Structure 1
């Protein structure tokens, strides 16, 4: 009887507890990837992420073949088909035990529970977070609802546990190069993101060695290559968050000390990633498109189809917002500062439901991840856990002047404005506005007053 390693969003051979356990026997385990394109479409997976996924699965198959492990592909349509198909696969291959990584999303957890209830022996292992959901709690055992105390407790644990990444298994006799796996789902080229063996670690090492020290200073400047750009790899599990933490601490041994500096600031972002994933497990309603803060249920959103379409197309008349949206459409990725600016503009200045923006992002992001996408949108819309106060509204012109002062990022994605001066490019006056660039969709002062009035239903005494 053999063991099976079932790969999901953990497409790597290093720092993989489930794979390590599956390889403890004398014989190599079988490996399996199950594709569910109808489920992916229900989850609004972007075609660019689907392409990256296909490339990553094939890279994984080649890495496993070197280790003497064959990766099988089981094409289904949706999660409801998984238990029966797994039973049949296990019978064919003499599998008695299945090893897999935990996933935080509700549908994925329900799928795994149905597999267990069907009678299969499924062992789940942590790995999608640095510290698993439920392990960072208050003294009374309840989960944190505020990020800063969560981060402090999270970091205190990190200082006292060994989080050295697991090595790849030693392996058996190598196999011949596997046949290509094709995923039957719409795809769009993800060639900007290399996925060969070791590529994710190369991106990580280049960041921690060359840019991490200046991360806090430069991270909000979208024209600079100042962020790690690891999010697409983390979203599909091509690299583990623990490996990211380990590399940061290797470069800066004091990275977990709460002090100004690039390493601490970047690890703070890893803490946010864990925080949102812990919330997703603790409050399943977040996987259902519900507001975390129930006061937000009273907010009256605008239908605003024309305004929503203008936002989607990068035609709002506010250059930083438009450049951000065009970056998303052209590359499948958006700078984090700009995600906040674009989300604030949609939800506060246009008063359009954050769920529409979240769905649009999910359909286009190469790094699509429910926990991060939902967490970021609800933070910007003031509907989430420890979100920005409802009265905080990003001014896209002020943000542009502060974080793209010379307009370099705007010029990259809005060539029709490239000729404008550094002063005019942030909000072109009518006399200088090109004929092919739209006027501002709203008056910022008026839209701010409208937002404060509309969101006043969320007013609390502690504000």
Structure 2
């Protein structure tokens, strides 16, 4: 007779410590089998078979597996569509219930609904917990019960609600003895799933106190190590957002503000899912007459625009999967405003290239840069990439690293004149808004 067990389904929470869903699973009545699914519904869409994100996940799972083996347990790793995987698991194990942590993206909600339906038809419960954010869904609302659509008042309410209860870690370690005791099970290799290693290194899963103390002063300068590089760790849950928020409360209000921005965009995506499906938050902006010149888009992608800061950012992204946040704003604004290329083209390109890609933040930031998103300001903001470079890379250290041919004859002339492009963008945007 099969022994009854519970499953904890890892997704965006690849750690054994301070993990909400895992804590509740291990405190339950049944031993816990930890599970991860390499989801073919996602992986089959990835054209780049040297995808850094898949490699990062595989590496993180290897660390979790090593920890579990030290506890006499093992990680069950499957490769397939989640519903199909659970159909198999139901036949292999006597499953009492499945625990997991909530994911708020449209595909994730659809996936979880399908899995929950399958499980409940078999008499198996499905429980999901808040873990990747401090506040989720409807926890930060206006006094009339409606969601905020402007960041500053949302941030004020978020801060007013914050207390030690929301920052307290889950003491998962106390219950590690409740993992199902099993011999080691091998994980699928990257090669068996059609991917290959790149050999790239990943940012460490720690952020130093000194960096946070200097964060507000240095975060806008791409040539210095002034940002935390925690994006991918927050995306995949290799660090706890509660731990980062506790550090931020103690050491850097500016860094806490960045964590709040992340949650603001998560909340927007949850309440207004159409933004994650190609719609502008401000509907009138869906009627902008984009130029969408494919040759110009290709030059932007490859870092050949003739604007050094834009080109440095795009080359850094293509080479490493990372781009500094200040430079992300400049490159995004340049595509949407200077070239009048649909922001969705740029959003998709970043989604393909960024190691720390997260739908809510990527979409929110692109819409902010394009002027069609959750922003109290109108569309008039057009970053001047030359002035941005002078202000935030005054010695050109960042630019020289990525655009070494800058002083030579091979560097291209600017694609567009800034002032002419700015006037053109304002006229096109004004017409779209006026006509609606």
Q: Does TM, normalized by the shorter one, top 0.5?
A: yes
Alignment of 1:272-421 (within 5 A): 272-386=261-375, 388-417=377-406, 420=407
Aligned to 1:98: 98
What residue number does 1:8 align with? 11
1:13–1:193 CA distance, 2 compared to 1 (3 A): same
In the other structure, the counterpart of 1:238 is 238
Distance 1:116 1:167 in 2: 27
Separation of aligned partners in 1, 2:40 and 2:82: 13
Q: Cα offset for 1:189?
A: 2.4
Give the whole-Å Cα distance in 2 for the aligned partners of 1:144 and 1:456: 25
Q: Provide, for residues 374-424 of structure 1, a one-character-per-residue CA deviation record: whole Å limited to 9, x for no partner.
A: 11101100111126521110000000000000101001111112xx4xxxx
Cα distance per residue 1:81-103 (max 9 Å; x no partner): 42243132033121110001100
Which residue in 2 is equivalent to 1:256?
A: none
Among 39, 61, 75, the residue aligned to 2:42: 39
What residue number does 2:212 align with?
Answer: 212
**Residue 83 (structure 2) pairs with residue 83 (structure 1):** yes
1:142 aligns with 2:146: yes
In 2, Cα distance between the equivalents of 1:271 and 1:71?
33
Aligned with 1:449 (options 420, 423, 431): 423
Give, in angstroms, the shift of residue 176 of structure 1: 6.1
Please list, as runs of the form range in 1=range in 2, the aligned pairs for 1:166-181 lying within 5 A after superposition: 166-170=170-174, 171-172=176-177, 179-181=186-188
What is the aligned residue count?
421
What is the SS of the residue equivalent to 1:378? helix
Distance in 1, Cα, partners of 2:53 & 2:321: 8
Look up the match of 2:189.
182
Q: Secondary structure at the match of 1:181?
A: coil
Contact 2:74/2:183, CA 8 A, preserved across alignment: no
What residue in structure 1 maps to residue 117 of structure 2?
Answer: 117
Give the structure 2 partner of residue 108 of structure 1: 108
Would you say the 8 A contact 1:52–1:190 is kept in 2?
A: no
Taking structure 2 as the reference length, what is the TM-score of the superposition?
0.91
- 8 Å CA contact 2:310–2:331 kept in 1: the answer is yes
Out of 13, 29, 32, which is 1:29 matched to?
32
Deviation string, structure 1 residues 210-250 (Cα, Å, up to 9, x no partner): 1112211111000010011110111111112111001223x
* Candidates 32, 57, 81, aligned match of 2:61: 57
Shift of 1:159: 3.2
Shift in Å, 1:177? 5.8
Q: Which residue of 2 aligns with 1:133?
A: 137
Q: What is the CA deviation profile of residues 339-359 of structure 1, one whole-angstrom value per residue up to 9, with x for unaligned ones?
A: 000000000000000111011
User: What are the superposed Cα offsets for residues 255-277 of structure 1, whole Å, 9 maximum, x if unpaired?
Assistant: xxxxxxxx111100000000000
8 Å contact from structure 1 (residues 165, 246) kept in 2: no
Partners of 2:433 and 2:361 in 1: how far apart?
A: 26
Tell me by how many angstroms 1:15 deviates. 1.6
Task: Mark the CA change 1:387 to 1:239 in structure 2 (over 3 Å): closer, same or farther.
Answer: farther
Instruction: Name the residue aligned to 1:265.
Output: 254
Three-state SS of the structure 2 residue aligned to 1:169 is helix
The whole-number CA distance in structure 1 between the counterparts of 2:212 and 2:415 is 38
In 2, Cα distance between equivalents of 1:457 and 1:66:
64
Q: Which runs of 5+ in 2 are unaligned?
A: none
Shift of 1:289: 1.5
CA distance in 2, matches of 1:313, 1:387: 32
SS, match of residue 172 in structure 2: coil
RMSD: 2.0
In structure 1, distance between residues paired with 2:138 and 2:411: 50
CA spacing shift, 1:19–1:67, aligned 2, 3 Å:
farther
Is 1:193 aligned to 2:202, yes or no? yes
State the SS of the aligned residue for 2:189.
coil
TM-score, with length taken from structure 1: 0.86
Per-residue CA deviation, residues 22-64 of structure 1 (Å, 9 max, x unaligned), is 1114653011111123423547888111111111122122222
Structure 1, unpaired ranges of 5+: 253-262, 421-433
- CA gap of 1:281–1:162, structure 2 versus 1, over 3 A, is closer
Mapped contact 2:222–2:326 kept (Cα < 8 A): yes
Looking at structure 2, the residues matched to 368 and 85 of structure 1 have their Cα atoms a distance apart, in angstroms, of 25
- Secondary structure of residue in 1 paired with 2:98: strand
Contact 1:380 1:387 in 2 (8 A): no
Q: Does the C-alpha gap of structure 1 residues 221 and 44 become closer, same or farther in structure 2, counting only changes over 3 Å?
A: farther
Q: In 2, Cα distance between the equivalents of 1:387 and 1:14?
A: 39
On the 8 A contact 1:18/1:125 being kept in 2, the answer is yes
Pairwise CA distance, 1:175: 6.5
